[in-house]
């Protein structure tokens, strides 16, 4: 039903030959389908504790099963990334979020750890600032805590992890390195601690033009790179530095043509390995479930079913 989309559910069982979808209608009646859909539940309501703080308690057995299956079904890739995924939803729910930069800005936010192939290994549905958990740590922040929770099962195995500047901080990278998880990510200028003072200032680099670079490395072998692309970019890594440099093609407004600019190695491998979650997002979007349901959590169920199909 996500591959062949009709405006109304009953059209799949239409008596009109061109509309009827035999692969569904010939094996299950519309009444049987609607009965299953109506009574589909994942949790025994009588067993939900009165002091429950888990907003996803009605989905929890299903979510736990997916976690277990995703983890066991495939050997983890060496390079993985953590990013956010949106489940489009415009109905009423206290979990609904708005992210302006997303193609579908309204919906449920899911933190996801995925491989370069797009395979999802681990995920966590955002339940708000508190989310029934202990307060975020002062050292890593709420986003850093997400990274540590999602990456706990690859600790000690020398995996490489990639994150954008929402998650990245120097203390987080140091902790991941202690766990033998090596890191590359973009970082915000106000999270660079003392590294910013050791780099060539941004104004001087901008005057030198695109491709200009400044780098500093700590005693712990954590490298911070300031690079000029269209704007200033900061990349931090616990295993990759500036060299070997390569060339990146960019459009020049001055010459109205493509030009080549110098690109640090840490930027190159970040661009190469960061897109796993976006890849899964794009594959799921091709055949997204669009049937309405009064129970808001069913939208999450259908979305994760699509993720499971793509994973398979």
Cα separation values, 3 from 32, 183, 241, Å: 21, 38, 45
Q: What CATH code is carried by the domain that includes residue 125?
A: 3.90.350
pLDDT at residue 132 in the model: 56
Q: Are residues 64 and 187 in the same domain?
A: yes
Structural domain tally of the chain? 2
204 and 112 together in one domain: yes
Q: Are residues 22 and 138 in the same domain?
A: no
Nearest in space to 87 (alpha carbons), one of 274, 284, 252, 235:
284
- Give the tens place of pLDDT for each residue, 254-308: 888 999 999 999 999 999 999 999 999 999 988 887 667 788 999 999 999 999 9
Pick from 140, 132, 228, 134: which is nearest to 178 by CA?
A: 140
Residues 106 and 145 in one domain: yes
- Residue ranges making up the domain that contains 32: 9-39
Evaluate if residue 16 carries a pLDDT over 60.
yes
More confident residue, 6 or 195: 195
The reported pTM is: 0.89
Say yes or no: 21 and 146 in one domain: no
Give percent above pLDDT 90 in the chain.
63
State whether 95 and 32 are in the same domain: no
Percent of the chain with pLDDT over 70: 96
Under the banding of pLDDT at 50, 70 and 90, the label for residue 130 is: low
Residue 101 shares a structural domain with residue 213:
yes
Are 100 and 16 in a shared domain? no
Longest dimension (CA), the chain: 74
pLDDT, mean over the chain: 90
Q: What is the pLDDT of residue 131?
A: 62
Q: What is the DSSP string of 180-227?
A: TEEEEEE--GGGSTTHHHHSPPHHHHHHH-TT-EEEEE-TT--EEEEE
pLDDT digit string, tens, across residues 29-80: 999 988 998 889 999 888 888 888 889 999 999 999 999 999 999 999 999 9
């Amino acid at each position: 039903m996500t591959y062949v989309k009709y405006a109304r559910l009953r059209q799949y069982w239409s008596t009109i030959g061109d509309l009827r979808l035999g692969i569904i209608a010939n094996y299950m009646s519309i009444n049987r389908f609607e009965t299953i859909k109506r009574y589909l539940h994942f949790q025994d309501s009588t067993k939900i504790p009165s002091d429950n703080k888990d907003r996803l308690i009605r989905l929890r057995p299903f979510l736990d099963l997916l976690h277990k299956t995703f983890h066991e079904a495939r050997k983890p890739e060496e390079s993985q990334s953590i990013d956010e995924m949106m489940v489009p939803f415009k109905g009423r729910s206290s979990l609904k979020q708005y992210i302006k930069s997303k193609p579908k800005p309204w919906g449920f936010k899911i933190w996801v750890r995925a491989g370069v192939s797009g395979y999802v290994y681990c995920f966590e549905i955002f339940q708000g600032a508190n989310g029934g958990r202990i307060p975020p740590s002062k050292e890593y922040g709420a986003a850093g805590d997400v990274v540590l929770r999602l990456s706990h099962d690859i600790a000690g195995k020398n995996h490489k992890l990639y994150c954008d500047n929402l998650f990245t901080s120097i203390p987080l990278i140091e902790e991941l390195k202690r766990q033998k998880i090596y890191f590359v990510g973009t970082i915000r200028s106000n999270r660079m601690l003392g590294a910013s003072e050791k780099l060539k200032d941004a104004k001087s680099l901008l005057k030198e033009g695109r491709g200009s670079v400044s780098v500093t490395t700590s005693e712990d072998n954590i490298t911070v790179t300031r690079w000029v692309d269209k704007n200033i970019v900061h990349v931090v890594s616990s295993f990759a530095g500036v060299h070997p440099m390569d060339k990146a093609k960019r459009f020049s407004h001055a010459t109205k043509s493509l030009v080549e600019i110098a690109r640090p190695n840490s930027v190159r491998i970040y661009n190469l390995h960061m897109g796993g979650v976006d890849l899964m997002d794009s594959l799921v979007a091709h055949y997204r479930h669009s049937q309405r349901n009064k129970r808001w959590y069913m939208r999450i169920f259908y979305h994760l079913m699509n993720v499971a199909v793509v994973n398979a």
